[in-house]
Amino acid sequence: MSLLKIDGISKSFGGLKAVDNISFEVEEGTIHALIGPNGAGKTTLVNMISGIYSVDVGDIYFNDEKITNVPTHKLVNKHIMRTFQNLEICENMTVMENILLGFNINMNKNLLKCSFQFESILDDEEKFTHIALSHLKRVGIEEHAYTLCSDLSYGILKKVEIVRALAINPKLLLLDEPVAGLNGTETAEIAEIIKEIAAQGVTVLLIEHDMKMIMGISDNITVVNFGVKLAEGTPEEISSNPAVIKAYLGEGSLHE
């Protein structure tokens, strides 16, 4: 069953067509990778899916429901979460506070109740703090739970963003270059985490450059270049597709 359906979407910035009539579907419970050279339009695509950019033409469907141009924060209610290529972490807050933000839609935010420290607010805090700690433990960073994010390394913050996105048990998780800038060990850790996430039923749409990781964990791959879909298929099909090899894989990155 296709959970996410991208139907002929296009977007231009001024005179530049960043995304040109792209369509593909993401099957539920799979890890679907979106690959292509820099500037191919991948992030634009993800930004359109997650409501950050508007769609010029075409539609996006989630669970057969049209979600084209639905603003980002409303998509969260549908349990669509994402991470960011350039890390959107709250630096002046602790890891725990960032994770607790992930639980936002499940929390009571009534200002009056917050001002007077109602029992319900305090109970929520305790409950979600426990859950957050167990999530942090699973990715191995619970020791940093109460550290300020501005004091932590990039690699750890990448994990924090993923944990934040997982807090509400999303149905669809969009990961925008989750291992960009990480070393081999860190990359392998993240790859494991993504596999675990998928194993628990979360559908993952993954943008990445790291071909080894992509080939290792993806169920399906969509290749884009210059805003246009180039190819689609399983890792085996893609790695033997001549057009793809010529445009992208041929640059030697397969052997990293």
Partner 1 sequence: MENKGLFLDRGIVLTIIVLCVIPFLLQNSFHYEIAIMCMLNAVICIGLNMLVGYTGQISLGHGAFAGLGAYVAVILSTTYSFDPVLSILIASVVLAIIAYFISKPILKLEGHYLAMGTLAVGIIISIVLTNEDHLTGGPDGMGVSSFHILGYVFENDIQWYVLSAIFLVFSIWALQNVVNSPFGRILRCIRDSETAAKAIGADVPYYKTYVFVISVVIATVAGSLYSYYTGFISPEESGFMRSIELVVMIVFGGLGRIYGAVIGAIIITALPQFLTFLHDYEHMVFGAIIIFVMIFMPKGIVSIFDVLKYEKKKEIKKDNS
Partner 2 sequence: MVELLQYSFGGLTVGFIYALVGLGFTVIYNSSKIINFSQGEFVMIGGMAAVFLSYADFPFILAFPMAIMLASLLGYVLFKLVSLSSNSSVTSLIILTLGYSIFVRGSSQVGFDKQMHTLPSFISDTPISIFGATITPQAILVIVVSLCIVFTLYYMFNKTKLGKAMLATADNKDAAKLVGISVKKILIMNFMISASIAAIGGIVLTPITSMNYEIGIMLGLKGFCAAIIGGIGNPFGAVFGGVLLGILESFVAGYISSEYKDAVAFIVLLLILFFFPGGLFGAKKSTRV
In angstroms, rounded to a whole number, what is the distance separating the alpha carbons of residues 40 and 81?
Answer: 22
Rounded to 10 degrees, the C-alpha dihedral 110/116/119/123 comes to: 60
**83 is a site residue for partner 2 (CB under 8 A):** no
The entry of partner 2, partner 1, none near residue 47 (CB within 5 to 8 angstroms by kind) is partner 2
The entry of partner 1, partner 2, none near residue 13 (CB within 5 to 8 angstroms by kind) is partner 2
Residue indicated by tokens 């149905």: 171
Say how many residues touch partner 1, by CB under 8 A: 43
Residues 98-127 that bind partner 1 (CB under 8 A): 100-102, 104-105, 107-111, 114-117, 121-122, 124-126
User: What phi and psi, each to the nearest 5 degrees, are found at residue 63?
Assistant: 55, 40
Q: Is the dihedral of CA 74, 76, 78, 82 positive or negative?
A: positive
- Give the nearer residue to partner 1 in terms of CB position, either 66 or 127: 127
Using alpha carbons, select from 213, 178, 208, 179 the residue that is nearest to residue 36: 208
Residues 122-181 that bind partner 1 (CB under 8 A): 122, 124-126, 146, 164-165
* Number of neighbours of residue 132 by Cβ within 10 angstroms: 23
Binding site for partner 1 (CB under 8 A): 50-52, 71-74, 76-77, 81-82, 84, 88-94, 96-97, 100-102, 104-105, 107-111, 114-117, 121-122, 124-126, 146, 164-165
